[in-house]
Chain A
Amino acid sequence: MPRTTATPARPATAKRVRLLVATRKGLWTLASDPARNAWKLAGPQFLGHIVHHAVQDPRDGKTLLAGARTGHLGPTVFRSLDNGRTWKEAARPPAFGESSGRVVDHTFWLTPGHASEPGAWYAGTSPQGLFRSNDGGATWDGVSGFNQHPDRKAWCGGDQDGTPDGAKLHSIVVDPRDAQHLYIGMSSGGVFESTDAGHAWRPLNRGVRADFLPDPDPVFGHDPHCVRMAPTHPDRLYQQNHCGLYRIDRPNDAWQDIGVGMPKTIGSIGFPLVVHPRDAETLWVFPMDGTSVWPRTAPQGRPALYRSRDGGRTWKRQDLGLPKAQCWWTVKRQALTIDARDPAGIYFGTTSGDLWGSRDEGRTFRCLARHLPHIYALEAA
């Protein structure tokens, strides 16, 4: 595959920021003025639906897809061709083949395809399945190279073996230099790579701990929570894992532990991670309490983001404006996002339905919306 550096993104200036807020009870949008000072909340759409992820297509700037279900109805995908004013349901949502014996519980993750493939999208499901649409999300087919791979069950375990919310395929990453080069993350299963558009896959987990398994150095079976590619340096991936923080610089195939620089009282456990749009060395994580029975709350009830500006060697706490004590929410893996402005805006949604933002790269935060349902995913559109 070609190994060139992607074109650095130019900072977006004086544009309004629009956040797609996917929650346990529907979809909202939060839009800013050009200064990112005043914010206006709109919605809900799909009130009562569990919306796992809502994403805008950066290739046309007007197509939105949302993965949704309800407590009783089966999973589906809704699509809008007019930036969310009107929606239509996918004619054929992601579903496993009849012969597989498997059932999609919900579509968890949506990723637009490569810039050279307009209309292409990928979807990750719970339990772990990979799907592709070539028509802007109207119809979906399983990526057979993964879904029917003879080792899939060994990689992922059985469909009933997953975590309480269901095992998930997430973090679908498309290399901006090569449409055939894909990464996926699975909880559980690990990180896998394909260089032929999903026909063949290989595990990419060397160097990552899986201390919940008896094998001290397994090839697969790991629990990545969130994998992100640096937008300006596609050979750099970061990973927030169940067992710490990692980075990898391809073509190396071993991850480096970058959680060692985190304060011992905070640890390196968490769900989300974002990378700066123009600086591959700068990233943010939101640590959570992974001690004893895994409360998964902000450590000590004092939420903070941790930012590294040197690729994960050192970390700085950022909590100015956030609650100082007795604050027990956390941030899920899709609920931390960043805009393309300069300075970049950092936004996160909480399990208690608050939405916080910073327009100065995390130096100061303020609450932008309160009293929403449990926020599952946040995407800057």
Chain B
Amino acid sequence: MAAQHTHEVAAVVCVRVPTPLRSYTGAAATNVAVPVLARELPPTLGGVLAALDTAYPGIRFRIVDEQGRVRRHIKLFVGYALAGDLAVPVPAGVDVMIVAALSGG
């Protein structure tokens, strides 16, 4: 889809949100649609999380620390692939999944 203006929504990325983060997105919001602007195409994972934070303020800091690193017990998948950093591109039609891992009591 060719957007006419860079500030227009050019794509939507589906983000799968785990239960620990649904206090931000709503209890039933397993999947949330995050808009990506034309000027941000193709989006990176970092760009998708920034857009997610615009829609749900505060959620990004629970996932990514102040140095831009994914927190230790959070995993981010782009499609089926574990993303090593936030620069990973998110191809059109591919979902992002956030996984929060706990162990022990």
Contacts and interface: CB of A to CB of B under 8 A. Distances in A.
Given A89-B58, A91-B58, A74 B63 contact: yes
A95 B61 contact: yes
A73 B66 contact: no
B1 to A, nearest CB: 34
A70 B74 CA distance: 11
Interface in A74-104: 74, 76, 89-91, 93, 95-98, 101-104
A97 B73 CA distance: 22
B71 interface: yes
B91 interface: no
Nearest to B58: A89
A104 B68 CA distance: 12
A48, A72, A98: most-surrounded residue (chain B CB, <10 A) = A72
A72 B101 contact: yes
Given A89-B58, A91-B57, A98 B66 contact: yes
B20 A97 contact: no
Given A70-B20, A71-B73, A76 B65 contact: no
Nearest to B69: A103
A89 B74 CA distance: 20
A73 B63 contact: yes
Contacts of B100: 70, 72-73
Given A72-B20, A103-B66, A93 B74 contact: no
Contact of B61 (A93, A97, A98): A93
B102 interface: yes
Nearest to A71: B102
A81 B61 CA distance: 23
A48 B20 CA distance: 9
Contacts of A70: 20, 100, 102
B7 interface: no
Interface in A47-87: 48, 70-74, 76
B72 to A, nearest CB: 8
Given A73-B71, A91-B57, A103 B65 contact: yes
A98 B58 contact: no
Contacts of B102: 70-72
A98 B100 CA distance: 24
Contacts of A91: 57-58
A76 B66 CA distance: 12
B62 interface: yes
A101 B67 contact: yes
B83 to A, nearest CB: 16
A163 B61 CA distance: 25
A97 B66 CA distance: 7
Contacts of A76: 58, 61-62
A104 B101 CA distance: 19
A98 B20 contact: no
B66 A95 contact: yes
Nearest 4 interchain pairs by C-beta = A72-B73, A73-B62, A72-B100, A95-B66
Interface of B: 20-21, 57-58, 61-69, 71, 73-74, 100-102
Given A73-B63, A74-B62, A93-B61, 4 more contacts: A89-B58, A98-B67, A98-B68, A103-B69
19 contacts: A48-B20, A71-B73, A72-B71, A72-B74, A72-B100, A72-B102, A73-B62, A73-B74, A74-B61, A74-B62, A74-B63, A74-B65, A91-B58, A93-B58, A93-B61, A96-B66, A98-B67, A98-B68, A103-B69
